Amino acid sequence: MTVGTMKKLLCGVDLGGTKLSAGLFSRDGRQIDRLEINDHVDKDNDGVTEAIIGLVKGIQSKNKIQDSDLLGIGICMAAHIRFDEGLVIKTSNFKIPFKNYPMRAKVQAHFDVPVILDNDANAQAYGEFIFGAGRGRKNVVFMTVSSGIGSGIIIDEKLLRGVTGTAGEIGHTITQSESDQRCTCGNRGCLMAQASGIFFPSLFQKKLDEGKSSVINVDDVSTINGKTIAEGFRRGDEICTEIFYESARMIGIGVYNIFQLLNPEAVIIGGGLINLGEKYIEEVRRTFRSYARDMMVDPMEILLAELKGDSGLIGAATLILERR
């Protein structure tokens, strides 16, 4: 690799339902610039794609950067992605949903450097692997726990995408087959339905219905989120404390299942729920250890994600660095 290549920049794009951002990064992960827009939300599929192209062209011209100064452009979004073909299979968080939309080709037509398209969990996983808690390792799994649960699996320094590109959907693995809690996917017993933020309202309501008490003043149970649970936990609230520990326990079980199936060096936990604090992570670790016991030969670490806030953006940029 020439010095010229080493000096090239990484461009990342994070496409969300409410926010579209682009960033320029040096090869060592330093952010050089960042642009963000929100007016893509009402656009159709082609309109969103044009917004991406415009944002990248914008950050290029603002920084006097040619295509030849970039190593490539990585785009991530919350979607099922057919990775090999750069197709958005489907989305659930856009006003006008994408369906089998050839986004990578449409963006690629405007740039003379490689364009990569992947889902946000894979991008965040690769970002943590290159610049975050996974640095220097070869086999790590990144698990994001927030409103939903997803993961990105890195085997031998490469993302495991599977045949379609949808591997890593740990949130929809069944961990409690007899559960009556229905997931957004329609199944019962998904890890996600027992541990992630989007289900805190229904878990809360269920405990109220069971006659349990709460000191939390909730006019509208549907507004309950991680912050509510964290506050209630701090105040010793019965229901919040139960949800806090039950969620952590299920995440610990998810981590344990990853251990048994994939035997990685480490599992990195990211996403909004890690803000529930050290006691939450402690309970995740305690649960994992209580299941793994002497079946764990080499220690498997449970680490906290290190890339904050813009983890999707820098993650998307690092996709360019993946060996293919």
Contact yes or no for 32/9 (Cβ under 8 A): yes
Residue 253 touching a second copy (CB under 8 A): yes
Strand partners, 182: 188
Residue 256 touching a second copy (CB under 8 A): yes
Judged by CB, which is closer to a second copy: 11, or 303?
303
Contact yes or no for 275/268 (Cβ under 8 A): no
CB of 266 vs a second copy, minimal distance in Å: 9
Judged by CB, which is closer to a second copy: 162, or 277?
162
Rounded distance, CA 26 to CA 48, Å? 26
Q: Count other Cβ atoms within 10 Å, centred on residue 272.
A: 15
Binding mask 115-144 for a second copy (x = CB under 8 A): ------------------------x-----
Please, which residues have CB within 8 angstroms of residue 266's CB and are 6 or more apart in sequence?
133, 134, 137, 140, 141, 300, 301, 302, 303
Burial class (CB in 10 A: 0-12, 13-18, 19+), 109: exposed
Residue 175 touching a second copy (CB under 8 A): yes
Q: Which stretch binds a second copy (CB under 8 A): 61-69, 117-125, 151-159, 235-243?
A: 151-159
Please, which residues have CB within 8 angstroms of residue 116's CB and are 6 or more apart in sequence?
72, 73, 74, 75, 86, 104, 319, 320, 322
CB of 139 vs a second copy, minimal distance in Å: 6
Judged by CB, which is closer to a second copy: 31, or 179?
179
Structure tokens at 318: 């690092």
Reading phi first (left if > 0) and then psi (alpha if -120 to 50, else beta), residue 75 is in beta
For a second copy, which residue of 38, 62, 109, 155 counts as binding (CB under 8 A)?
A: 155
Residue 6 touching a second copy (CB under 8 A): no
Judged by CB, which is closer to a second copy: 93, or 260?
260
Segment 25 to 84, residues that bind a second copy, using CB under 8 A: 80, 82
Residues that bind a second copy in the complex, under the rule CB under 8 A:
80, 82, 89, 139, 151, 153, 155, 160-170, 172-179, 185-187, 194, 250, 253, 256-257, 260-265, 291, 293, 295, 297-298, 300
